[in-house]
Chains A and B, each alone.
Chain A
Amino acid sequence: MLQDYLFPETISEAVSFLKSNEGQARIIAGGTDLLLDIPEGKIKTSCLVDITRIPELSKITLEDGVISIGAAVTHNQAANSELIQEKAAALAQAASCVGSYQIRNSATVIGNVCNAQPAADTAVALVALGAVAEIANPGGTEYVPVEKMYAGVGKSTIDSASQLVTRVSFPAAQKKQGTAFVRLHQRKALALPMLNVAAMVALEGGKFLWARIAMAPVGPGPVRALSAEEILKGAEVTPEVIEKAAQSALEQANPRSSALRGSKEYRTSVLPVLVRRALEQAVANAGSSCK
C-alpha cells in the first residue's frame, strides 16, 4: 500500500529518502511500467520517490565529445533532440518507437533501461552506442556499462529501492562514424518489437575500423553480435562483407518462440536481414555508402 509520494530536490536527497525508508521506498520517473506493476503486486512499495523534478536530471548535454542523458529525460525529449538526432541517430530512432506519443511524453529513457525488458528499444540503442550508466548509491557513485545492467529477463542489476541511475553517457558520433536502429513490429505504435537491432560503425578509407552491434530479443537483454563485429573489423565496406557479418550474427542469437511476436524459426530467418539493414543505414549515417 502506497503511503507517501516524495519529490526530492537533489540526487543526494533522493538517495537518502531511499536509505531512510530501508527498502520500502522506490524510485519513480515516468512510471509507465511501474504503475502497471504495483497494482498487479509484482512490485511492493510503500513510498514513491519521484526524481523528475531534480533539475540536473532533465538535461541532455554534450561535453568533451560525450553525450549525457539525465534520468528524467523522456523518450520524446530524446527523440526530438537535435543533438541526439545528429550525433546518436540510433537512440533518437529507438526512442521514437516506444509505446505511443503519450507514453513517450511520460516514460524516460533510463526507466526503459531499468525496467530491463529483453528488447527495450533504447537499451538496445545504448548498448550499440557503448553507453555507461552513472549510478548513485548510498556509499558513492558507480559506473556500469548499460550492457551489464541486465540480471535476467525483466531483471535489472539496479535496485530501485536503494540506488538511482542518474544518467547514461556515450561518445557522440564523430566524423566517419554512424549509427542506426531498425525494428520489426506488427504495428507502428503500441507494439513491442518482434526484433530490433542497433549498430554503430566507424569507417576509414573504405574500411570498417570497428563496429558495435546490439540485437534483441535474442537473450535476457540486448546481445552483442560479436562474430559480426569481428568480421567487420578492418574489412572493406562492401555488400558482401555486410551480408557475411549479418549472417554470422546468428552465432550469438538465441531467440525464443513468442505466440504474439514470431516463432524462433521466423526470428532466426529474419534477424540477419535486420542486422544487414542496420549496418547499411549506419554506414549511410556515417556519410558513406556500400560500394
Chain B
Amino acid sequence: MSSKILKFTLNGEPVEIAVSPEDMLVDVLRDKLELTGTKKGCGKGECGACTIIMDGEAVNSCLVPAMKAMSASVETIEGIGGPGKFHPVQETFMDLGAIQCGFCTPGMIMSSKALLDKTTSPTSQEIKKALAGNICRCTGYVKIEEAVMAAAEKMREKQ
C-alpha cells in the first residue's frame, strides 16, 4: 500500500504524518496521533460522535478521508480546552449535567463550538439544527441545549 505524507494544522500545531489513501481522519486522529477524545461510533455519519471542526466547519471525521485534511486546519476536543482552561461550552456541559455516559459528549461539544464560533446568540432552533446530527442515547437533549445556551451567554459576557 502506498503511503502519503499528510501535512495539516492540528489544534494550532503543524503535523506531518504518513497515512494511507484509505485512512479515515478519525482513525488517524485516534490511532496514529493518539487523540482518543474524538469518538468513533457508527462509522457511517449517522451518530456524530466523531465530529471535529475542519476549516471552521463541523464534519464527521469518520467520513473524511485523512487526505482531505491536507493543508487544512483541524480542531478536536483536545484542542478547544481542558483541565485548567476549559472552553465555556465544556464548562456548561459539566455545570448543567448535560452529560451521562459521555460517549457523545466530544461530538456534541464540537458541533456546539462550531455553532458558537459563528454566533454567540443562537436561537433554540439553530442549536437543534446544529446538533441534529449528534445522537445521545442516555440523557435526552434538553440539558444539552440548555448548556449550549448557557455557554453562548458566557461567551457574550466575555465579549
Given A3-B1, A99-B133, CB of A105 within 8 Å of CB of B57: yes
Q: For B24, what are the chain A residues with a Cβ–Cβ distance below 8 Å?
A: 35
Q: Are A102 and B111 in contact (CB under 8 A)?
A: yes
* Chain B contacts with A in 64-79, Cβ cutoff 8 A: 64-65, 67-68, 70
Q: Are A102 and B59 in contact (CB under 8 A)?
A: yes
CA separation between A102 and B25, bound complex, in Å? 14
Q: Are B130 and A101 in contact (CB under 8 A)?
A: yes
Q: Mark A38-57, 1 if CB is under 8 A from B, else 0.
A: 00000000011010100000
A interface size (C-beta, 8 A):
26
CB proximity of B38 to chain A, nearest CB, Å: 13
Q: Are A102 and B21 in contact (CB under 8 A)?
A: no
A28 touches B (CB below 8 Å): yes
B30 touches A (CB below 8 Å): no
Q: Mark A243-287, 1 if CB is under 8 A from B, else 0.
A: 000000000000000000000000000000000000000000000
Chain A minimum-CB-distance residue to B20: A2
CB contact between A50 and one of B44, B48, B68, B134 (< 8 Å): that residue? B68
CB contact between A100 and one of B4, B48, B65, B68 (< 8 Å): that residue? B48
CB proximity of A4 to chain B, nearest CB, Å: 6
Q: For A1, what are the chain B residues with a Cβ–Cβ distance below 8 Å?
A: 1, 22
A103 touches B (CB below 8 Å): yes
Q: For A106, what are the chain B residues with a Cβ–Cβ distance below 8 Å?
A: 59-60, 63-64
Q: Are B133 and A101 in contact (CB under 8 A)?
A: yes
Q: Are B132 and A100 in contact (CB under 8 A)?
A: yes
Q: Mark B117-159, 1 if CB is under 8 A from A, else 0.
A: 0000000000001111110000000000000000000000000
Q: Mark B32-63, 1 if CB is under 8 A from A, else 0.
A: 00000000000011101001000001111001
Q: Are B133 and A103 in contact (CB under 8 A)?
A: yes
Q: Are A188 and B63 in contact (CB under 8 A)?
A: no
Q: Are A50 and B133 in contact (CB under 8 A)?
A: no
Q: Measuring CB to CB, which residues of chain A are less than 8 angstroms from any residue of chain B? A: 1-5, 7, 28, 31-32, 35-36, 47-48, 50, 52, 76, 99-103, 105-106, 188-190
**Can you give 24 A-B contacts (C-beta < 8 A)?**
A1-B22, A4-B21, A7-B70, A31-B63, A31-B64, A31-B65, A32-B60, A35-B65, A36-B44, A36-B63, A52-B68, A100-B133, A101-B58, A101-B130, A102-B48, A102-B59, A102-B60, A103-B45, A103-B60, A103-B63, A189-B132, A190-B46, A190-B132, A190-B133
Q: A31-B64, A101-B111, A101-B129 are in contact. List 5 more A-B contacts (CB 8 A).
A: A3-B21, A5-B67, A48-B67, A101-B130, A189-B129
